[in-house]
Amino acid sequence: MNQYITGAVIKELREKHHLTQAELAEKLNVSDKTVSKWETGRGYPDISLLEPIANVFEISIAELISGNAINNVNVSANMLHSQFYVCPVCGNIIHSMGEAVIHCHGVSLTPCQVEESDEQHKIFIEKIEDDYYVRIEHDMTKQHYISFIAALSSDRIQMVKLYPEGNAEARFPIRGVKKILFYCNRDGLFFINTIKGIDDKECSYDDTEERRELEQAAKMLFG
């Protein structure tokens, strides 16, 4: 772990809870001089005290160590509010429905900032019976590839993990899907609403047979 609780965090939490150093010390069965040492950076709490300190401040140990408070807000179990974290070391993908403190390989992860798909990350969506067939026009080399595609509805998430040298495509049961997300290992997280993906012909996001024929002709002419 590359982080540990700091004196500044303890002081901020203590003052937030309107406790004196002596009052906090009493709750933890330590001296007020010990608390003072923590807050001035002349010492650190023993690891055995992390849970008692977190309990006093009514937060998790993860929040205590990171210094980031997690707001326990009701997100109405709406998967459309999902956040994704991707480890830059191992490529691990973590999904969260709200704020979270996430660490992987000693790295503190921040949620991916999602952007609308663009000309460098074209996505095509086609209805096939009761499914959405999703295809992304993108390199799939070991250095540059789409890591995953996810289909989001209000009550569920469907995800397909992709790998280099494979195909950047997936098929999802429609089931109320409103949004498609995909992650480029170089450029980050992108999305498109399914209605736009199917119907927006002006932006070339339709996936008609005519579009396929044009793409094939372009490849033959321009390599």
Is position 205 within any domain?
yes
Give bridge partners of residue 127 from the DSSP assignment.
Answer: 132
What pLDDT digit, counting tens, does each position of 43-81 carry?
Answer: 888 888 989 999 999 888 877 887 765 444 444 457 888
CATH number at residue 11: 1.10.260.40
In terms of domains, do 129 and 206 share one? yes
| Other Cβ atoms closer than 10 A to 188 | 14
Radius of gyration of the chain (CA): 24
Q: What DSSP state is assigned to residue 171?
A: E
Q: What is the pLDDT of residue 58?
A: 86
Residue 52's domain spans which residues?
7-66
Q: What is the pLDDT of residue 42?
A: 86
How many domains is the chain built from? Answer: 2
Name the residue with higher pLDDT: 198 or 129.
Answer: 129
Q: What is the pLDDT of residue 214?
A: 55
Is position 121 within any domain?
yes
**Average pLDDT, integer, range 16-23:** 93
What is the average pLDDT score of the chain? 83
Question: Residue for token digits 């002006």?
Answer: 202
In terms of domains, do 129 and 213 share one? yes
Is position 92 within any domain?
no
In terms of domains, do 133 and 197 share one? yes
In terms of domains, do 125 and 181 share one? yes
3-class DSSP state of 121:
coil
Is position 99 within any domain?
no
* Total residue count of the chain as it appears in this document: 223
Name the residue with higher pLDDT: 80 or 193.
Answer: 193
Of the three residues 51, 66, 81, the one that is the final residue of a domain is 66
CATH number at residue 125: 2.60.40.730
Is position 95 within any domain?
no
In terms of domains, do 55 and 132 share one? no
How far apart CA 194 and CA 206 sit, in angstroms, is 10
Question: Residue for token digits 């973590």?
Answer: 94
Q: Which of 178, 180, 185 minimizes the C-alpha distance to 170?
A: 180
What pLDDT digit, counting tens, does each position of 97-152 carry?
Answer: 877 788 888 788 888 999 999 888 999 999 999 999 999 999 899 999 999 999 99
Is residue 116 a contact partner of residue 191, using CB atoms and an 8 Å limit? Answer: yes
How far apart CA 223 and CA 28 sit, in angstroms, is 70
Minimum mean pLDDT among 18-27, 29-38, 39-48: which range? 39-48
Is position 74 within any domain?
no
Is residue 124 a contact partner of residue 200, using CB atoms and an 8 Å limit? Answer: no
